[in-house]
Amino acid sequence: ILGEDGFPLEGPDGMPLTIKAATKMLAVLSSLTGNTVAVVPFGSKVDWLKSEGEGKAFLNADESYNRAIHTAILGTDGMTMAATNDSQGAKKVGQDVFHLFAARDKRNLSAVLTRFARWLILVNKGEEAVTYAPQVSVASSDREDRIERGKMYAAMKSAGLIHYTQVPAIMDEIGAPPVDPEVLKQEAEQAAENAALAEQELRNLRQPADPSDED
Q: What per-residue string of b and e applies to 99-122 under the rule 16 or more CB within 10 Å gives b?
A: eeeeeeeeeeeeeeeeeeebeebe
Q: How many CB atoms lie within 10 A of CB 76?
A: 19
* pLDDT for 105: 82
- Measured CA to CA, the distance from residue 104 to residue 110 in angstroms comes to 10
Among 81, 51, 78, 76, which residue's Cα sits nearest to residue 63? 81
| CA distances, 61 to each of 11, 36, 91 (Å) | 44, 22, 24
**What is the tens place of the pLDDT at every residue in 161-208?**
888 788 888 887 777 777 788 888 888 888 888 888 888 888 887 776
User: pLDDT grade, residue 129 (50/70/90)?
Assistant: confident
pTM score of the predicted model: 0.32
**What is the tens place of the pLDDT at every residue in 97-124?**
677 777 788 888 888 998 999 899 999 9
Q: What is the mean pLDDT of the chain?
A: 76
SS3 10: strand
Domain regions of the chain by residue span: 1-39, 86-138, 143-205
